[in-house]
Chain A
Amino acid sequence: MLSRPPALGAQSEDLLVTTGEAGRVGGRLVASWHSEPKTANPAIALDVVSKELITLLDADLIHINLATQRTEPALAKSWAVSDGGRRYVLELRQGLRFSDGQPFDADDVVFSFNLYLDPKVDSPQRDLLMVGGKPIKVLKLGPYRVEFDFAQPYAAAERIFDGVAILPRHLLEQDYENGKINQAWAISSAPGSIAGLGPFRLKQYVPGQQVVLERNPNYWKVDAARHRLPYLDEIVFLIVPTEDAEVIRFEAGDLDLLEKVGADNYALLEREGGAHGYRLFNLGPGMEYDFLFFNLNDLSAKHLPEIVRKQEWFRRREFRQAVSLAIDREAIVRLVYRGNATPIWTQVTPGNKMWVDEAIPHPARSLEKALELLRLGGFTRRADGTLTDSQGAPVEFSILTNPSNAQRSKMATLIQRDLSQLGMRVNLVSMEFQALMARAFDSYDYEATLLGLVSGDADPNPEINVWTSTGGTHVWALAEVHPLPPWQTELDSLMQSQTALLDFAARKAAYDRVQQIVAEEDPVICLVSPNVLAATKAGLEGLEPSVMRNYLLWNADRLYWR
């Protein structure tokens, strides 16, 4: 039974008219999450599941279209830039209402930005909203006009507004003033107490089982036929803890889509898909990449003498380069990802077409060259093949992996074998992911680790966290290092200077240099970038799969059942 689309509101509503073919209204979509969302509160959400929920419940001023990777108007219908890129004046859509029916205006925007920028709230957005080390200034110019002042020109420009959810002042102001904003909007709160401007609103949360979203009747987009979006009545997220369980439930018909699936299960679906009419998506290399890194933190020789001794090796560029040269990336692509991955030698993946530096060399695996580099670095091989350092100590270290990630565990076994051919003895230590992260991020009690990173945006700006020495995701050396190696100083200045370069070519040149340094110095040894693979049941239309999260559901407002 399909109902007629909800009638359009008063003419004063400034609705966004989308292009493209009009869909059919109604139906529900069943998807899955590996864990429950921790919160529906954008000011404290850190985990990917909560973030995905929030993109469905809330809206931003200017949005990045994940299919084109470019910005487009959202709650702001237009904007003007002045003062050499330092001032943005945004015109808001008029007559919009939150999902609880209350009106939206500039006060909500000012409230939201001030909340995110408040150091007391300590929201994850705060770092991203600092330009040139200073918070953005937000001024209300009129009921539907807001001015944003940056301390210096900002290269990524309007991308800064993407993902900054606009909050309803009428619901959250009291909590904010009482200092209780971090407790607001827990996922278990009454659905009526949570409201946003996104295509859906929370309907039901059953702990450990499911989260049900329903259509936001006040959503501000309409299709070409003037039907109010979204098309779907409901989206249900079942909590399914493992990918294998997801695949089984997808095959059983319980799930309508698999947003992201591993290469092995993709092959399984490919074999069985024909009979069931699944639609499979192989989107090519994504924004994610796997890498190996050594512990380059400055450590106290008293607490971790063994690791400090081995850092003598890890700090040698020749050692890291030799490891990189000895790793058989092709084998990782073939055996771990069944060909659905691309080898990489620097951090920008081929999926990021705008920023990838095509000039980065792709040296083939070569044990001879690796051994030559090690010889230059003062290492020698004993008669039995064991590699020893200049003190005569055998080169032996451990790599941490987490067994819950089958791909990286497999990669580690391949790397162990590859490096044994250089005479290095590698021990694999598998531990639970939280324990691994505690070692890598808090105690620094590790020698080498395999991890994956996902760029949240195609733009290099969010990567500042990874490549500058003070960044929070500067994984290989989170503790302060004295003195900084010269290449790290150069990385710091390049990453800082590119934020203020408004000319794309100049910025690209700066970021190309960053990629070159990463490729040459190997602070992290980039290995492969897996393809983004997804599957849906037949009949789901309006899909514009993206290599970025949320792969299939980023345009959930336009999905419909045929």
Chain B
Amino acid sequence: MKLKFALLGLALIHVLVLGAGFLAPYDPAEQNRDFPFAPPMALHLVDTQGHFHLRPFAYAQIYHPESSAAVPYEIDRSRMIPVHFFVKLAAEGGMGQSGEWRLFGVAPPHRLFLLGTDDFGRDQFSRLLYGGRVSLFAGLLATALSLALGLVLGGLAGFYASLPDHLIMGASELFMALPWIYLLFAVRAFLPLHLGAQESFFLLVGLIGLTGWARPSRLVRGVVLSARHRDYVLAARGFGASDFYLLRRHILPEALGVLLTQAALLIPQYILAEVTLSFLGLGVSEPAPSWGNMLADMQKLYVLESYWWMFAAGVALIPVFLLYHLLADALQQSP
């Protein structure tokens, strides 16, 4: 039950961010310089006269740049902006290609900001979806990398014992003792300047994944060490099975359960690692969004005090973490 719920929830979130190219109404890099820090716009079905509309609509917002109010926007209830479904995006360069289909949108020059905008007038809702791609998949890919490395190295260490074991476990102890965040800082400082958003994403994934192999490898080693002397392994060896066959067929499958639980624990950790690095300005670079660099704006006092919708990425992290922990819990209970 728990397992199903967690898997379903996670699947839903991942589908949402994967579908950003269709679900997000705008290109995440598109700046609307006349709407900085616009508050979220509510969708309505009933207008001021009490009439019901089948088509949802929002009210236009008027920006008063001269006002000293924290949020210098006023809702204009006389101007309704109807929401259209299945619209073609008229983007001007950037990530989205013009002519792409989008789930919903409003007719220009109006804009629909479901989660408000940031300081450049970029739609927070679109950025949240596109940014989720980066953050969530950085976690997934880095975990896959860590586990693959852990499986191979832990398998070798456990199976051959003696020298390989000493070497690999020694290295893993070194890696576990490393203050990884400083290591990442140092590595980032030596990188070439010409990294685009994609290169920096894969680099980030590589760095996070490579530094994290130690713990899974130790777990795998433990499992392999105990499985190595099981009767069926000895029997198979007696029939002339090769090392590779033994590992693949009999020993490593034993580690599967441990690895799955480990994955459910590592993914949120690595998502957080990406968020932390991007928060500190070392992750994917502007204008590509990630949940970390979206939260980086919260470092500023005036944003923190005045624009609550800028917390969106932080709020989005909560269900993701809860679901992953639920998953880890469920995986541990069901053998």
A residues contacting B by CB (< 8 A) are 244, 247-248, 264-265, 267-268, 270-271, 306, 328, 331, 334-335, 339, 385, 396, 398, 400, 403, 406, 410, 412-414, 416-417, 420-421, 425, 427-432, 435, 445-447
Contacts and interface: CB of A to CB of B under 8 A. Distances in A.
B334 interface: no
Given A410-B119, A429-B193, A430-B285, A268 B93 contact: no
Contact of B120 (A306, A414, A435): A414
A191 B177 CA distance: 44
B36 A264 contact: no
Contact of B68 (A271, A385, A396): A271
Given A306-B194, A406-B300, A420-B94, A271 B31 contact: no
A414 B122 CA distance: 11
16 contacts: A264-B300, A264-B301, A267-B68, A268-B302, A270-B68, A335-B33, A335-B119, A398-B193, A417-B120, A421-B93, A427-B194, A427-B196, A430-B281, A432-B189, A446-B193, A447-B193
Interface of B: 29, 31, 33, 36, 65, 68-70, 92-94, 119-121, 189, 193-196, 280-281, 285-287, 296, 299-302, 305-306
Contacts of A385: 93
B146 to A, nearest CB: 27
A427 B193 contact: yes
A339 B65 contact: yes
Nearest to B305: A268
A244 B300 contact: yes
Nearest to A423: B93
A385 B69 CA distance: 40
A416 B287 contact: yes
A428 B286 contact: yes
Contacts of B119: 335, 410
At the interface, is chain A mostly helix, strand, loop or mixed?
helix
Contacts of B29: 417
Contacts of B302: 264-265, 267-268
A446 B192 CA distance: 10
Contacts of B31: 414, 417
Contacts of A247: 301
B200 to A, nearest CB: 9
A7 to B, nearest CB: 47
Nearest to B31: A417
Contacts, number: 79
B68 A268 contact: no
A194 to B, nearest CB: 36
Contacts of B69: 271
Contacts of A270: 68
B29 to A, nearest CB: 7
A420 B29 CA distance: 11
A413 B33 contact: no
A287 B70 CA distance: 29
A420 B33 contact: no
A380 to B, nearest CB: 17
Nearest to A270: B68
Which interface residue of A417, A432, A435 has the most chain B CB atoms within 10 A? Answer: A417
A336 B34 CA distance: 13
Contacts of A396: 194
A400 to B, nearest CB: 7
A421 B31 CA distance: 12
B36 to A, nearest CB: 5
A76 B70 CA distance: 51
B301 A268 contact: yes
A271 B286 contact: no
Contacts of B286: 412-413, 416, 428
Given A427-B194, A429-B285, A334 B65 contact: yes
A429 B189 CA distance: 10
Contacts of B189: 431-432, 435
A331 B33 contact: yes
B328 to A, nearest CB: 34
Given A306-B194, A427-B194, A429-B195, 18 more contacts: A264-B302, A268-B302, A268-B306, A271-B68, A271-B69, A335-B36, A335-B121, A396-B194, A398-B193, A406-B300, A414-B120, A416-B287, A417-B31, A417-B287, A421-B92, A428-B285, A435-B189, A445-B193
B197 to A, nearest CB: 8
A410 B31 CA distance: 12
A283 B36 CA distance: 25
Nearest to B306: A268
A510 B131 CA distance: 53
Which interface residue of A328, A427, A445 has the most chain B CB atoms within 10 A? Answer: A427
Nearest to A417: B31
Contacts of B306: 268
A420 B285 contact: no
B92 to A, nearest CB: 8
